[in-house]
């Protein structure tokens, strides 16, 4: 029995569509299988770079692990980590490994980068980044991994991405064109015969919360606590959240420590310290006279790096109504039951405390 012409037409369309889909699938599979390693990496990188959300960009660094700063993880395949990190509060970067069939490790920031086969990592960006931007007349000194041939500097980008542990390169005309592959950018130096580039984007550094960071200065005394921070910039928010903190000094002790202060007080030179004032010191609570000593009537003493600090010390000391301050032992309040005899002394500060 002959089928109506309408059904014959529909059947023909279905057959053609099936053949077309099968041919497209076959061609796509053959194309992927025949891709060079750099081209496969480039394709994978592009698909992850566009992300799952508009305006979200990740540039996977194959073979690299971002160590530390873990804030969470989830089971997923590598291509899903970009959007999942974006949805995870505080996530600014991720590393992916095949742990438990595939795991995204969420990071609050990019930590130290190490080469690790089978791992890939990426930073989150919310605008498209320029990758492998070549710097003319610039050489990256040291950190060499290997030399590979390339007729152009631009050709070194894919060669670096395909080479284990490579993150940067310098290019010269040696032997008709050479990519000097490097594990890190290193120190850039001027050289008219060299071109160089990093192949992965660098983190976008946020503006510092404490623009007044002073390198090489310590704040003496007034300590009210301490807390870990790997960078001095992190002490700013820590101080703001700590009751009574107005300043801090940062050292490398225990990987980085914020020494929180009730006031800025006296600043002293120390090449191993970074310090900052988060909030200005409050005005003195008593009228201090410079060059004046109140003789006698002593009832005690206590260390303070500044004369202003003696005001509150005296107020909290039973029977104290005045003080004189000297630089003895880094600063000492001489607490007094009364003002007593006033004497001239250029090295002393004194005040009556109401």
In whole angstroms, how far apart are CA 326 and each of 42, 129, 149, 169? 69, 58, 72, 60
- Answer yes or no: are the C-beta atoms of 145 and 166 closer than 8 Å: yes
Single pTM value for the model = 0.47
Just give the CATH number of 135-198: 3.50.4.10
Task: Answer yes or no: is pLDDT of 75 > 70.
Answer: yes
Write down how long the chain is. Answer: 354
Nearest to 230 by CA among 109, 122, 114, 107: 109
Instruction: Give every CB contact of residue 41 below 8 A, 6+ residues apart in sequence.
Output: 62, 158, 161, 162
Q: Please name the fold of domain 288-352.
A: Hepatocyte Growth Factor (3.50.4)
Task: Answer yes or no: is pLDDT of 204 > 80.
Answer: no
- To 10 degrees, the CA torsion angle through 326, 267, 289, 303? -40
pLDDT digits (tens, 9 = 90+) for 261-287: 988 877 888 888 999 998 887 766 688
- The better pLDDT of the pair 34, 348 is held by 348
Q: What is the pLDDT of residue 178?
A: 97
- The better pLDDT of the pair 43, 350 is held by 350
Please check whether the domain covering 37-125 is classified as CATH 3.30.420.40: no
**CB crowding 3-36: b at 16 or more within 10 Å, else e:** eeeeeeeeeeeeeeeeeeeeeeeeeeeeeeeeee
In the chain, where the domains are located: 37-125, 135-198, 214-277, 288-352
Per CATH, 135-198 and 288-352 having the same topology is answered yes
Q: What is the pLDDT of residue 127?
A: 81
Task: Answer yes or no: is pLDDT of 3 > 60.
Answer: no
Confidence of residue 200 (pLDDT cuts 50, 70, 90): very high
- The better pLDDT of the pair 40, 122 is held by 122
178 by Cβ neighbours in 10 Å (0-12 / 13-18 / 19+) ranks as middle
Between 110-114, 117-121, 139-143, 297-301, the lowest mean confidence (pLDDT) is in: 110-114
Instruction: State the Cα–Cα distance between residues 306 and 281, nearest whole angstrom.
Output: 11
- Work out the percent of the chain whose per-residue pLDDT is above 90: 48
What CATH number does domain 214-277 carry, 3.55.10.10, 3.40.50.720, 2.60.120.380, 3.50.4.10? 3.50.4.10
pLDDT digits (tens, 9 = 90+) for 87-101: 998 789 999 999 999
Task: Answer yes or no: is pLDDT of 106 > 50.
Answer: yes
Instruction: State the Cα–Cα distance between residues 16 and 22, nearest whole angstrom.
Output: 10
Q: What is the pLDDT of residue 233?
A: 84
- Answer yes or no: are the C-beta atoms of 85 and 106 closer than 8 Å: yes
Instruction: State the Cα–Cα distance between residues 26 and 46, nearest whole angstrom.
Output: 22
Q: Scanning the structure block, which residue is given the tokens 């007044």?
A: 212
């Amino acid at each position: 029995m002959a089928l109506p012409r309408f059904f014959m037409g529909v059947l023909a369309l279905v057959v053609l569509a099936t053949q077309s889909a099968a041919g497209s699938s076959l061609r796509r599979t053959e194309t992927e299988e025949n891709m060079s390693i750099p081209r496969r990496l480039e394709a994978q990188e592009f698909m992850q770079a566009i992300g799952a959300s508009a305006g979200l960009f990740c540039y996977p660094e194959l073979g690299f692990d971002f160590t530390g700063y873990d804030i969470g993880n989830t089971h997923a395949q590598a291509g899903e980590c970009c959007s999942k990190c974006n949805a995870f509060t505080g996530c600014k970067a991720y590393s992916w490994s095949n742990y438990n069939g595939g795991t995204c490790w969420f990071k609050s920031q990019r930590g130290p980068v190490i080469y690790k086969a089978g791992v890939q990592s990426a930073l989150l960006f919310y605008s498209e980044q320029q990758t492998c931007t070549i710097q003319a007349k610039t050489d990256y000194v040291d950190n060499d991994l290997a030399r590979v041939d390339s007729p152009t500097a631009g050709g070194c980008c894919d060669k670096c991405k395909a080479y284990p542990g490579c993150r940067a390169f310098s290019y010269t005309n040696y032997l008709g064109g050479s990519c000097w592959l490097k594990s890190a950018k290193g120190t850039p130096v001027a050289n008219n015969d060299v071109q160089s580039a990093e192949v992965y984007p660098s983190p976008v550094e946020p503006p510092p919360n404490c623009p007044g960071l002073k390198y090489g200065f310590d704040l003496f005394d007034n300590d009210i606590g301490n807390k870990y921070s790997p960078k001095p910039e992190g002490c700013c928010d820590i101080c703001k959240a700590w009751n009574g903190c107005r300043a801090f000094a940062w050292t490398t002790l225990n990987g980085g420590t914020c020494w929180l202060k009730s006031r800025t007080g006296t600043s002293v030179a120390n090449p191993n310290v970074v310090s900052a004032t988060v909030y200005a010191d409050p005005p003195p609570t008593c009228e201090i006279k410079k060059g004046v000593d109140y003789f006698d009537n002593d009832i005690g003493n206590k260390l303070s790096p500044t004369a202003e600090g003696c005001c509150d010390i005296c107020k909290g000391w039973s029977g104290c109504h005045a003080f004189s301050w000297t630089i003895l032992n880094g600063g000492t309040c001489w607490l007094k039951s009364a003002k007593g005899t006033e004497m001239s002394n250029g090295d002393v500060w004194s005040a009556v405390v109401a």
